A and B are shown apart, each in its own frame.
Chain A
Amino acid sequence: DAGITQSPRHKVTETGTPVTLRCHQTENHRYMYWYRQDPGHGLRLIHYSYGVKDTDKGEVSDGYSVSRSKTEDFLLTLESATSSQTSVYFCATGGDTGELFFGEGSRLTVL
């Protein structure tokens, strides 16, 4: 257990509203990732971070932004949520050890 906490775990919001998901880790891992999981697509990388204030885009980054001001926290923001962003979002940490550690997921529904 890499001590990864995601919040909120469930959220329902309306189209056009901003949403922020938080990932908190207690293991001091350098790398942090945000993925979304949709049926038939596996997990797709949204953004990742390789250090404080160092982030990069993944394969599905449009409509999302991230911030990492502290080693332990990685925030994912949807500036203006759309129905296509309804998904389950997973935070993961790791990389240096050659494996990923996952949070329990955040289920987001955009109406």
Chain B
Amino acid sequence: AQSVTQLDSHVSVSEGTPVLLRCNYSSSYSPSLFWYVQHPNKGLQLLLKYTSAATLVKGINGFEAEFKKSETSFHLTKPSAHMSDAAEYFCVVSWGNFNKFYFGSGTKLNVKP
């Protein structure tokens, strides 16, 4: 069965330090991978997506993620955290023709001044 695992439910960093949010998926098929961000009381917004082109994907607001097939991972990084990055982040995986998406349980990012 397909599954998506976000390894940390909460991550806390200081402003200006790097961010790493981890995501692993399970499947023998090539997936499409996404990271979404949700600010409090808001809907989800796409940060970036991987769909079998370059393995290093750049997204909005300085975020990027690297697809590593051998590790079945798609970790989200940012070199320098900003206070406005505080939100919940979801790793999402899709197999096949995009009609079903599987969500990780989310990682809440806290950014300390």
Contacts and interface: CB of A to CB of B under 8 A. Distances in A.
Contact of B100 (A4, A43, A48, A90): A48
B12 interface: no
A99 interface: yes
Nearest to A35: B103
A104 B43 contact: yes
B31 to A, nearest CB: 11
Contacts of A4: 43
Contacts, number: 55
A74 interface: no
B34 interface: yes
Interface in B1-52: 6, 9, 32, 34, 36, 41-46, 49, 51
Contact of B98 (A98, A101, A105): A98
B49 A31 contact: no
Given A104-B42, A104-B43, A105-B43, A98 B32 contact: yes
Nearest to A101: B46
Interface in A15-48: 31, 33, 35, 40-45, 48
B105 interface: yes
Contacts of B41: 105
A99 B46 contact: yes
Contact of B99 (A35, A41, A48, A103): A48
B100 A45 contact: yes
Interface of A: 4, 31, 33, 35, 40-45, 48, 50, 90, 92, 94-96, 98-105
25 contacts: A4-B43, A35-B103, A41-B105, A42-B90, A42-B105, A42-B106, A43-B44, A45-B100, A45-B101, A48-B100, A50-B99, A90-B44, A94-B98, A98-B32, A98-B51, A98-B94, A99-B34, A99-B46, A100-B34, A100-B46, A101-B46, A102-B43, A104-B42, A104-B43, A105-B43
